[in-house]
Chain A
Amino acid sequence: MKSYKEIKAIQMRTVIMLAILAGLAIVVVMLRNTIVSTLSSSQIQESLKNSPMGKGLASEMSRIIKDFSYYSYSQWFGKTYMQMAALIAVVLSFPLFSKEREKQTIYLLIGRMTRWEIYSSKVLTGYIASLITIFGGGIAYLLAAAIMGYSLPSSMAFAWMFRAMVGTLLLYQIGAYTSLLFKSQVKPFLLDIAIYVGLGVTPLFKQTKFLDLFGYMGGKEVLKNPTVGIVPTIVVLSVCAVIFTLGYLQFRRMDIC
């Protein structure tokens, strides 16, 4: 099995990231009671009334208290889960090619496997590892919520999980591409972080709002209508496919030295 090496290389990172994500999911569910009681205290309510941010903040807090779906969006699926998805994408992707070139272990593979075999086994194994991790983290949240007796519509949770998985594929694919460009591991890591920060600020400008990947992944609209968002999903997967292809063409024509 050509991808056996890639599975061995990625399995430890996958298990660690999955454990962290599942742990965070449980913590976020468990903190619900504490957050609600803190927000419900008369002191906080008084402060909210006098806050210069006024009604907006008060109504946000009130929704967190009353509605577990909104709490799940604001504290997990639209926040921590999504941030962890970006972290998982970068952790799984940045050493993919750069580490092999930096350590010169790439010469074990070159000649013994075709460029397509090397490229596809590396990238596709990471795809699967990313999907398993993100899915596992989402399931951990759902289970923790069920155990604690909270009700979250599964259609809503699966819509968020689906979006997060699709978004992570793109972030991972970007990371896999940048990993191809450098011989050292630090540079692709830093470039990935810069790209993610760049994606994070795109909704601030009218001209770049369409690049709001995190907006799609977090999916505030899922609260009203639990849908995966077919059009943006197709767009994200298409961009992913384009970068996958460009990455392969780049790897195919590159000198390994």
Chain B
Amino acid sequence: MSVIEVKELSKTYKNGVEALKGISFNVEKGSIFAILGPNGAGKTTTLKSVLGAIKPTTGEVLTVGKNPFPNGVKEISFVPEEKSLYEWVRISEMVKIFGSFAPNFSLKKFGILSKRLNLTMKRKIGELSQGNRTKLYVALAFAQDVKLYLLDEPTWGLDPVIRKEVLDIVKENAVDGKTVVYSSHILSEVEEVCDQLIILKEGKILYNGSLDKLKESNKLDLSKAFLKMVKGEEK
């Protein structure tokens, strides 16, 4: 069963930038799906289209069986690339605010996650480092009991120990039947968690399939296969 269905999706922004050029892919329930590509490839535009933040120019997106634009689908939890939170509150107040509008938010689950990620609750958001903001955002997002998690660079600024913890949380959710869509520049961690992936470049899909197949057909690890594919396209 597909949790995400993307058909011939194109997006041209008002400034004329063609971010996506007719991409199609499906994401199956319970999988960890990676979206890879160099800067400007269209990864964030793809995630925002699935979220319902932007309207496709042409094509169709179905997220958990529904058109996500403009109202979104409440079975999604999104972690954006910029981990921006409300600077004027303390972490405990941020959690209260988030819980007031986020569907299926569990304070108990947040407590468990914040312990695992070693979060200190007393501090003000404005005083947090990039790494601590990422930890808080990830804890908030996974404290929502939803069908689909969309993660854009979810380990940005984290130390190796916490990064490993985040990857474990991602894997545990997939085991529980949740779907995770994951975009990252760190190929080693993508390789560790994902089963399916697409590689994007300049708004087009270069590869769509399983990680094992990609590695097998290229007889290389993901980093080398990715570089070969992206650079090979340039030639």
Contact = CB atoms under 8 A, between A and B. Distances in A.
A95 to B, nearest CB: 12
Interface in B150-198: none
Interface string A1-19: 1101100110000000000
Interface stretch (B2-10, B74-82, B199-207, B226-234): B74-82
* Interface size classification for chain A: 20 to 34
Nearest to B55: A255
B80 A107 contact: yes
Contact of A1 (B51, B55, B98, B100): B100
B54 interface: yes
B97 A5 contact: yes
B51 A110 contact: yes
A113 B71 CA distance: 7
Chain B interface SS verdict (over half) = loop
A212 B194 CA distance: 63
Contact of B78 (A110, A113, A114, A253): A110
Nearest to B19: A257
Interface size classification for chain B: 35 or more
Contacts of A5: 86, 97, 100-101
A2 B51 CA distance: 20
A15 to B, nearest CB: 14
Nearest to B150: A111
Contacts of B96: 4
A184 to B, nearest CB: 15
A218 B100 CA distance: 40
Contacts of A252: 70
Interface in B90-119: 93, 96-98, 100-103
A256 interface: yes
Interface of B: 13-14, 45, 48, 51-55, 68, 70-74, 76-78, 80, 82, 84-89, 93, 96-98, 100-103, 144
14 contacts: A4-B100, A8-B89, A8-B97, A105-B84, A107-B82, A108-B84, A109-B101, A111-B53, A111-B74, A112-B77, A112-B101, A112-B103, A116-B71, A257-B48
Interface of A: 1-2, 4-5, 8-9, 103-105, 107-117, 252-253, 255-257
Given A113-B72, A255-B14, 16 more contacts: A1-B100, A5-B86, A5-B97, A8-B97, A9-B88, A104-B84, A105-B85, A107-B78, A108-B84, A109-B101, A110-B72, A112-B77, A112-B101, A253-B55, A255-B53, A257-B53
